[in-house]
Structure 1
Amino acid sequence: MGKGLPRHCRNRRTARIGPACMLGIILILIVGLGGLVLPSVPTTASAAATIEIYYAPEDQPGDRLVLLYDKARHYIYVAVYGLTYPPVVKALVSAKKRGVDVRVITDRERLNDPKQRAALETLHLAGIPILINRHDGLMHLKQVVVDDEVNTTGSMNQTTSGHRYNDERLDVITDPVTSAKARDKFLAMWKDSIRYEVWR
């Protein structure tokens, strides 16, 4: 052990690496690995978190989203593959009109759907900024973050089919910890001009 290292890095009696040199090696490894993308640390919800689970069609989850949007005070960040459900579109426009920061990220392939395009046009005309993906994969999240307090996940797109006909799930999580993580992910996507671009 310690073979091949400079003499001042080796303890002659034990042939072990000295603490100062060990620190230097660790720093070299950290700098050397700086270009690698390491997995993020999983986020655990706080003990006070609450989760509401809604299934479509029986629980009408789209209406729960409308209620969430109607109560927003500061911001609504939506990252969703499908967005056509008229009450949701109306609620987002209303939130924008009362001064809420509303932003949407969606998938470019969905622009081929006339209903999705019409919904996005309505949002755009209301002054809501919209990004679409430039990368080859899908922007397949079904995530909403509201006011650093609530975030959603699940299988449900914000579409009439997702609300009324499909077997879907919507989880509404009231928790500042996971909401902050979801917000940070959304904002990282929002700033990523390589993978996302402004629609219109």
Structure 2
Amino acid sequence: MAKKKSSKKSSQNRNISLVVTVAVLVLAAIFAFTGKDFLGLFPAAETATQAVATQKSPTAVVTPPDTGNSQSWWSVYFTDPNTINDPENLTGSIPETLIAMIDEAQTSIHIAAFEFNLTPVADALIAAHQRGVEVQWMTDDESGIDADTEEGHGQFAMLEAAGIPVKDDGRSALMHNKFIIFDGQTVWTGSTNLTQNGNFRNNNNVIVIRSTKVAEMFEREFAEMWVDGLHGTKSPSTVDLQSTSIDGTPIQVYFAAEDEAISHLIPLVNGAKKSIRFLAFSFTHDDLGAAMLAQAQAGVDISGIFETRGSETEYSELPAMFCAGLPVRQDGNPGTFHHKVIIIDDEIVITGSLNFSENADSSNDENVVVITNKDIAKLYLQEFDRRWAEATDPDPATMKCK
């Protein structure tokens, strides 16, 4: 009798173990696919949620290797006005990649973008809206909504006619952001405006980050503008909630004007040990310029490329750097050199919509991403080298060095 009772208890234990095992496996599957850990059973470190397909094109670019058991979580793209410069042919272009991501969206596409005149992208957004995806667009009043009546525009009118809501900031400072959030999981950002010039004439970059945590940071900023109508300094700073780490890569996000972004970038420049490279559409921020000059005097290897237009004015940091002997050049693109990038010690990449100016930092709506990753930095350094080869040294006669 005792033996029979022991067998029954053993059978019950096996059944309980089986139920527990199945429950853990189910929770593990939920965590793997959604990132939700209802019982706190799994590690807190963020891992990638979606693989990146390799794009075979001159623009860009990049599928990083997997880390451990995680999947690839980032992609970097650069415009190439020398070879991909026909808005009628999207093959290999950044808009082609963007449209593919729009086509894959399942639940939501939230856009904060300064200006817009890409009809194929408008068509893709309308198709997404028609299949039930929530599409919302926050833009600038003057360069966005007001410009929609100009020749070659009208894409915002297309969206609104299809039932897609579009809002603008309605103020004198700029809603200069350049980010898109897909399904609350993926963030698209960088310097690239969603225009023909931005993608086919100008030098620009895009970084795509597949991370629910990073997406949450951008969704919060989007809601401040879209729901609360808060812009610039009226937006509350949540900078303490804007950092994470993905597979060992630290990521910090800043928003202007509320986070005083450049005040956070200067310590990164001050902390450089060996090198700084920068690519700048507008670089007029004196404190950031002074930090680079001080680092150059301390022996850090610094060089940079300026958009030619405006680089010789009294406000630009180019004359001071050139006269101090720093290797700086003016870009060689007949269009616009539109990057806003700093690379520190071949590892830290700073990119986004933020020009290195006081207005951008203290008045506009802007976004900045700081990523510490050597593989990503390598790609931005390659872009620097490509653009450096096209750039030219300033004319000493125009610099008026003392």
Query: Which TM-score bucket, shorter chain as reference?
Result: 0.7 to 0.9
The reply on whether 1:169 has 2:364 as its aligned counterpart is no
Superposed displacement of residue 92, structure 1: 0.5
Q: TM-score, normalization: structure 1?
A: 0.74
Give the counterpart of 2:346 among 148, 165, 178: 148
Over the matched positions of the two proteins, sequence identity in percent amounts to: 25
What SS does structure 2 have at the residue aligned with 1:92?
helix
Find the aligned partners of 2:380 and 2:290 in 1 and give their Cα distance.
24
Q: Provide the aligned length of Structure 1 versus Structure 2.
A: 159
Counterpart amino acid of residue 296 in structure 2: K
Superposed displacement of residue 78, structure 1: 0.5
What SS does structure 2 have at the residue aligned with 1:91?
helix
What SS does structure 2 have at the residue aligned with 1:109?
coil
Superposed displacement of residue 112, structure 1: 6.1
Give the counterpart of 2:379 among 159, 162, 181: 181
Give the counterpart of 2:62 among 32, 35, 42: 42
Find the aligned partners of 2:59 and 2:282 in 1 and give their Cα distance.
28
The reply on whether 1:199 has 2:399 as its aligned counterpart is no
Q: 1:161/1:43 Cα in 2 relative to 1: closer, same or farther (>3 Å)?
A: farther
The reply on whether 1:70 has 2:270 as its aligned counterpart is yes
Give the counterpart of 2:257 among 37, 57, 78: 57
Deviations 1:61-81 (A, max 9, x none): 111221111000110001011
Find the aligned partners of 1:84 and 1:150 in 2 and give their Cα distance.
22
Give the counterpart of 2:292 among 80, 92, 100: 92
Counterpart amino acid of residue 392 in structure 2: E
Find the aligned partners of 2:342 and 2:387 in 1 and give their Cα distance.
13
Deviations 1:97-123 (A, max 9, x none): 01011111011112364311xx21111
Whether the 8 Å CA contact 1:79–1:106 is kept in 2: the answer is yes
Where do 5+ consecutive residues of structure 2 fail to align? 1-56, 65-73, 75-245, 396-402
Q: Per chain length, whose mean CA-contact separation is higher, i.e. which structure has more relative contact order (CA < 8 Å, sep 6+)?
A: 1
Whether the 8 Å CA contact 2:279–2:339 is kept in 1: the answer is yes
Q: TM-score, normalization: structure 2?
A: 0.38
Counterpart amino acid of residue 41 in structure 1: V
Question: 2:336 is matched with which residue?
Answer: 138
Find the aligned partners of 1:56 and 1:199 in 2 and give their Cα distance.
31
Counterpart amino acid of residue 67 in structure 1: P
Counterpart amino acid of residue 344 in structure 2: V
Find the aligned partners of 1:51 and 1:96 in 2 and give their Cα distance.
26
Whether the 8 Å CA contact 1:80–1:106 is kept in 2: the answer is yes
